[in-house]
């Protein structure tokens, strides 16, 4: 339905680089210990259900206030002074640059159209991925560049946010966004000539709400999502009320035909797909980010009808098998596949073709006669093959701790799938019915640019406060001694049903080279064990996520991987919230914390333009019970004066449309005023980044250099391997 480069990058941004090692005492750190800059307190009292809450730093929410901008500039100066002169920094930066510029065939978002394959590709030295086409997965020599944003903008500030290829492969629609903003303008290009055609359409995609486009079968028009233009709604609503339109190439976008969305929620997130014969159009409308979906179908008469409602627990619908396949979670939290015919499309007539099993269904693809179902069991993937009636036809054999994140149907009932492990990079394989021994490696791969031949993956298990078993994946060098001396970096996420599947992170090499251990906690709130696992960690159950993470940290200590003096933690976005909760609830358990683009003020987050989308995941202060849960763990409100907090590095980007940068500003000010440990609390604000998606390669290297340098210094690690 949509091929968003932002979505492709999500797991890499969440995991990033993780791990650590001791070479000198973790209590000896060389960063300058200048006093925290004084931040004026201007108390504002808000009342929620009879509870008075004082916010001393609400004035930092106004990013355009010259006083706020001066405060941010002072924070950046202090951070640069603390990090730039640290020993080993240049070696860290050099190694990261080599890693980010390493050459390997990283093809993402592969689609098939007009007998060719199209994909986003990265290359050494390029700031942004670019769009290519190939004759087949076995003929890399046939690769041609279709659109390269690096040619459009050499600075790397322009990124492909989404793309869709016409069925005949002659045209492509591409949304381009600047400075990591994820606000996309849709452009149309002729694949053969690479020339732009037609008029661009603004505001087709936006952070969180995303965007979608799907071609009509004749390639002369597209169905696409659009946000309101100036004057169509009040300024406060311009990032909401996403609607669906149809655009005929060569016409004025102002005359485009409205299709759907006027009755959708304010926080709707819409995607669209068109059947191969063009007679049916399918729209999925998510109610924010909490995992509720409704589906609408437009038939040959041109009339839209609602196919599923939020309460039906249908998370995905796809054309196939002469009708529609539906992924249902009704009485099946791990997912079951249903099928309905298009001649009488009704959920009441749905037939179960693949019942629920131990594997959580992540995606499915219907070819001419087959149904490929990719699932996960606690993180690692499984790919099963069925006919359209649900009769089993084998399973693709995969390596241990492997993840499959993309499956693409081919004309001969085979599929291409992209697989990777913690230790081996992503590669594309071909699988066909009867191939139970595993997929065949295609040409869409390279030898690993960074090798982990000396490493192994171990699955440990922690017990959370309520007895829940929490997996902890550990990446370590073979022969690692469990004596409590290993500098260890623990990461996690735990939200939105996002699964922390095995992922190749070449920057882990930076940490392992210095003797460290990498760990990833599989927390409730994610989707690793199905929708019940997700629901056990959202809304009023969010504290379970933090309990799980703390249990994982304690388990690593108990197993003598590390000690609190050698333990650092990291997370981004919802994982940044996790970091804020962990460091305020158990400050003595961690030595250093990296939190990127995090959410810290849970009482005001829904006031943010993007925050409203999160209400279905986090809850709202307008509900008394949900307010109590939010206030109980809100990191900003749990900071206590005089507490010895660990060293903290907070990062954000000025163009972040997913998490308001004010969260990081306020959290930094509050921690700097409260901590008694003498350890630094640093804030890094980038003027050239957003939430991380669409960031240039140079921006990624710069931020990661700061992160690693900070962590190495705080844990007493050497900067040179």
Neighbours of 469 (CB within 10 A): 13
pLDDT for residue 19: 29
124-168 per-position pLDDT tens digit: 777 899 999 999 999 999 999 999 999 999 888 899 999 999 999
Q: Decide if 653 contacts 683 (C-beta within 8 A).
A: no
645 within some domain: yes
The number of helix segments (H) and strand segments (E) in the chain equals 13, 39
Number of domains comprising the chain: 3
71 within some domain: yes
Of 133, 381, 691, 696, the catalytic one is: 691
* Ordered DSSP codes for 513-580: TTT-EEEEE--TTSSTT-HHHHHTTSGGGTHHHHHHHHHHHHHHHHTTS--GGGEEEEEETHHHHHHH
Q: Determine phi and psi for 640, rounding to 5 degrees.
A: -120, 130
pLDDT for residue 695: 67
467-516 per-position pLDDT tens digit: 999 999 999 999 999 999 999 999 999 999 999 999 999 999 999 999 99
The span from the CA of 698 to the CA of 526, in Å, is 31
Which of the four pLDDT bands, split at 50, 70 and 90, describes residue 400?
Answer: confident
Of 573, 662, 695, 696, the catalytic one is: 573
Domain end (from 255, 274, 293):
274
Domain end (from 401, 430, 449):
449
Segments forming the whole domain that contains residue 486: 37-99+450-714
Distance separating the N- and C-terminal Cα atoms of the chain: 45
**Residue 487, Cα to own-chain centre: how many angstroms?**
26
323-332 per-position pLDDT tens digit: 999 999 999 9
Same-domain check for residues 243 and 378: no
9 within some domain: no
Neighbouring residues of 580: CB distance < 8 A, sequence distance ≥ 6: 595, 598, 599, 600, 635, 636, 667
215-240 per-position pLDDT tens digit: 999 999 999 999 999 999 999 899 89
Which of the four pLDDT bands, split at 50, 70 and 90, describes residue 121?
Answer: very high
The CATH number for 550's domain is: 3.40.50.1820
In this predicted structure, which of 577-591, 601-615, 662-676 has the lowest mean pLDDT?
Answer: 601-615
- Per the listing, tokens 């603004």 go with 202
Q: Which helix (H) or strand (E) holds 715?
A: none
Which of the four pLDDT bands, split at 50, 70 and 90, describes residue 181?
Answer: confident
556-571 per-position pLDDT tens digit: 999 999 999 999 999 9
Same-domain check for residues 403 and 520: no
Same-domain check for residues 488 and 601: yes
Rg (CA), the chain: 25
Q: Return the percentage of the chain with pLDDT > 70, whole number.
A: 93
Which residue in 172, 169, 170, 207 sits closest to 186, CA to CA?
A: 172
Neighbouring residues of 670: CB distance < 8 A, sequence distance ≥ 6: 56, 57, 636, 639
Same-domain check for residues 470 and 593: yes
Calculate the average pLDDT of the chain. 91
656 within some domain: yes
The CATH number for 264's domain is: 2.130.10.120
721 within some domain: no
328 within some domain: no
Mean pLDDT for 686-691 is 75
**Residue 88, Cα to own-chain centre: how many angstroms?**
31
pLDDT for residue 15: 36
The span from the CA of 336 to the CA of 331, in Å, is 9
The span from the CA of 279 to the CA of 499, in Å, is 35
Same-domain check for residues 87 and 200: no
298-330 per-position pLDDT tens digit: 999 999 999 999 999 999 999 999 999 999 999
> Is residue 172 over pLDDT 60?
yes
Q: Decide if 297 contacts 319 (C-beta within 8 A).
A: no
8-state DSSP, 212: -
500 within some domain: yes
What b-and-e string marks burial along 364-387, b requiring 16 or more CB atoms within 10 Å of the CB?
Answer: bbbbeebbbbbbbebbbbbbbbbe
Which of the four pLDDT bands, split at 50, 70 and 90, describes residue 38?
Answer: confident
Same-domain check for residues 478 and 624: yes
Q: Decide if 487 contacts 457 (C-beta within 8 A).
A: no
Same-domain check for residues 435 and 486: no
> Is residue 366 over pLDDT 50?
yes
638-653 per-position pLDDT tens digit: 999 999 999 999 999 8
> Is residue 420 over pLDDT 80?
yes
Domain end (from 219, 252, 274):
274
Same-domain check for residues 472 and 529: yes
Q: Decide if 323 contacts 340 (C-beta within 8 A).
A: yes
Mean pLDDT for 458-464 is 98
Query: What is the torsional sign of CA 559, 563, 568, 573?
Result: positive
> Is residue 21 over pLDDT 70?
no
Select the more confidently predicted residue: 447 or 192. Answer: 192
Which of the four pLDDT bands, split at 50, 70 and 90, describes residue 428?
Answer: very high
Same-domain check for residues 611 and 501: yes
- Catalytic annotation present for 573: yes
281-296 per-position pLDDT tens digit: 999 999 988 889 999 9
Q: What does the angle CA 147 – CA 153 – CA 156 come to, to the nearest 5 degrees? A: 100
pLDDT for residue 693: 58
Same-domain check for residues 466 and 536: yes
The span from the CA of 580 to the CA of 157, in Å, is 30
Same-domain check for residues 411 and 513: no
Same-domain check for residues 444 and 455: no
pLDDT for residue 35: 59
Query: What is the torsional sign of CA 312, 315, 316, 321?
Result: negative
458 within some domain: yes
> Is residue 10 over pLDDT 70?
no
pLDDT for residue 353: 98
586-632 per-position pLDDT tens digit: 999 999 999 999 999 999 999 987 788 899 999 999 999 999 999 99
């Amino acid at each position: 339905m949509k091929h968003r480069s932002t979505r492709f990058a999500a797991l890499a941004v969440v995991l990033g680089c993780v791990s650590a090692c001791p070479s000198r005492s973790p209590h000896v750190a060389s960063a300058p210990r200048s006093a925290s800059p004084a931040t004026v307190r201007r108390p504002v009292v808000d009342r929620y259900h009879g509870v008075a809450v004082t916010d001393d730093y609400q004035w930092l929410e106004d990013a355009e206030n010259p006083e706020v901008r001066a405060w941010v500039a002072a924070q950046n100066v202090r951070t640069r002074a603390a990090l730039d002169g640290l020993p080993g920094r240049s070696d860290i930066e050099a190694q990261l640059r080599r890693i980010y510029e390493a050459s390997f065939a990283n093809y993402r978002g592969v689609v098939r159209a007009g007998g060719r394959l199209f994909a986003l590709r990265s290359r050494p030295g390029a700031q942004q991925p670019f769009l290519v086409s190939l004759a087949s997965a076995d003929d890399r020599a046939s690769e041609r560049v279709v659109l390269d944003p690096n040619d459009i903008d050499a600075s790397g500030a322009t990124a492909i946010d989404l793309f869709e290829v016409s069925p005949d492969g002659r045209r492509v629609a591409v949304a381009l966004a600047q400075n990591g903003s994820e606000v996309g303008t849709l452009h149309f290009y002729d694949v053969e000539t690479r020339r732009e055609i037609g008029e661009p359409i603004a505001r087709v995609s936006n952070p969180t709400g995303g965007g979608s486009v799907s071609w009509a079968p004749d390639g002369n028009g597209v169905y696409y999502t659009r946000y309101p233009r100036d004057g169509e709604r009040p300024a406060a609503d311009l990032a909401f009320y996403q609607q669906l339109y149809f655009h005929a190439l060569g016409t004025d976008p102002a005359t485009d035909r409205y299709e759907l969305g006027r009755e959708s929620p304010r926080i709707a997130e819409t995607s669209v797909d068109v059947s191969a014969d063009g007679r049916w159009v399918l729209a999925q409308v998510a109610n924010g980010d909490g995992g509720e979906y409704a589906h609408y179908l437009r038939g040959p008469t041109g009339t839209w009808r609602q196919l599923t409602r939020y309460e039906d627990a249908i998370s995905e619908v796809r054309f196939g098998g002469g009708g529609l396949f539906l992924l249902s979670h009704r009485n099946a939290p791990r997912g079951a596949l249903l099928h309905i015919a298009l001649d009488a499309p009704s959920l009441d007539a749905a037939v179960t073709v693949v019942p629920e099993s131990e594997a959580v269904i992540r995606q499915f693809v219907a070819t001419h006669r087959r149904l490929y179902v990719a699932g996960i069991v606690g993180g690692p993937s499984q790919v099963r093959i069925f006919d359209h009636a649900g009769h089993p036809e084998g399973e693709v054999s995969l390596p241990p701790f492997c993840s499959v994140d993309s499956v693409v149907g081919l004309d001969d009932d085979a599929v291409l799938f992209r697989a990777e492990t913690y230790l081996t990079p992503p590669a594309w394989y071909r699988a066909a019915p009867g191939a139970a021994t595993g997929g065949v490696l295609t040409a869409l791969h390279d030898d690993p640019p960074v090798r982990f031949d000396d490493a192994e993956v171990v699955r440990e298990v922690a017990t959370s406060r309520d007895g829940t078993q929490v997996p902890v994946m550990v990446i370590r060098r073979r022969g690692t001694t469990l004596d409590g001396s290993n500098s260890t970096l623990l990461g996690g996420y735990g939200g939105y049903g996002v699964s922390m599947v095995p992922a190749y992170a070449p920057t882990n090499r930076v940490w392992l080279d210095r003797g460290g251990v990498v760990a990833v906690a599989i927390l409730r709130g994610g989707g690793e064990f199905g929708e019940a696992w997700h629901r056990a960690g959202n809304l009023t159950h969010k504290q379970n996520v933090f309990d799980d993470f703390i249990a994982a940290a304690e388990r690593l200590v108990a197993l003598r991987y590390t000690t609190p003096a050698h333990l650092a933690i990291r997370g981004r976005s919802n994982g940044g919230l996790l970091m804020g909760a962990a460091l305020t609830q158990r400050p003595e358990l961690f030595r250093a914390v990296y939190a990127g683009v995090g959410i810290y003020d849970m009482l005001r987050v829904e006031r943010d333009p993007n925050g409203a989308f999160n209400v279905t995941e986090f809850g709202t202060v307008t509900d008394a019970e949900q307010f109590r849960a939010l206030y109980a763990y809100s990191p900003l409100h749990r900071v206590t004066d005089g507490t010895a907090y660990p060293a903290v590095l907070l990062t954000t980007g000025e163009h972040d449309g997913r998490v308001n940068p004010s969260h990081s500003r306020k959290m930094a000010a509050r921690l700097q005023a409260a901590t008694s440990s003498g350890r630094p609390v640093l804030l890094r604000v980038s003027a050239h980044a957003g939430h991380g998606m669409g960031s240039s390669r140079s921006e990624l290297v710069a931020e990661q250099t700061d992160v690693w340098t900070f962590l190495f210094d705080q844990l007493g690690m050497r900067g040179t391997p």
